[in-house]
Amino acid sequence: MISGQNKEKKDAPILEYTVLAAVIAVSLLFIFQVKTRDVNFARSVFSGLVNGRGGIEKYIDWEHLQGVGIDAGATYSKITKQIERSGYKMAFIKNFSIGFARSGGDLKSFVNWRIYSKAGAQTIVAVDYRGRNKTLLLTLTGAGKKKLTSLQWK
């Protein structure tokens, strides 16, 4: 009997450590997934802009959008007719794509996607533009359903 009780005592800490290790692993995966989700979202929206995909418009906060050197949100907010607002969105996306291509931009040159900062409902994703020694900051806002609000060079 004593040897059976000793075996149970030895197995109990192993089981506890195994459960603890599993909980820690799941927690780390969850934290990594949350960070990866924001980076993947920013990458997807940026790729949509670069490629001129109109469907990306629903992931942009048009009223507050700050483009590289342009206050697109202020311009958009002055438009009162819905049809003109839709036209503005499509023109912005198309012109972004055309401008990117004409400037010799290459989506593959954007590397090292990462979380730059996170505060409340705002996340800033940074990506380096290889060969140009620049970093693009993409600001995402919103709790739950994120939207792009800013694209700025650092």
Using one digit for the tens of pLDDT, what is the confidence trace for 87-119? 999 999 999 999 999 999 899 999 999 999 999
The count of C-alpha atoms lying within 13 angstroms of the C-alpha of 33, restricted to the half-sphere facing its C-beta, is 6
Tell me if 140 sits within 8 A of 122, measured CB to CB.
Answer: yes
Range of the domain at 80: 2-153
CATH number of the structural domain spanning residue 100: 3.10.450
The secondary structure element, H or E, covering residue 18 is helix 2-50
For 126: left if phi > 0, alpha if psi spans -120 to 50, otherwise beta; the answer is beta
Q: Give the model's pLDDT for residue 32.
A: 56
| Burial degree of 131 (CB within 10 A; 0-12, 13-18, 19+) | exposed
Which residue has tokens 């040897």? 3
80 contact partners, CB below 8 Å, separation of at least 6 = none
DSSP 74: H
- Answer whether residue 149 shows pLDDT above 70: yes
Amino acid at 54: G
Distance CA 145, CA 79 (A): 24
**Residue 26 pLDDT class (50, 70, 90 cuts):** low
In the chain, how many domains are there?
A: 1
* Average pLDDT score over residue span 60-83: 94
- Answer whether residue 25 shows pLDDT above 70: no
Distance of CA 34 to the CA centre of its chain: 10
Q: Give the model's pLDDT for residue 84.
A: 96
Residue-wise pLDDT for 29-42, tens only, equals 555 555 688 999 99
Orientation of helix 82-102 relative to helix 2-50, angle to 10°: 90
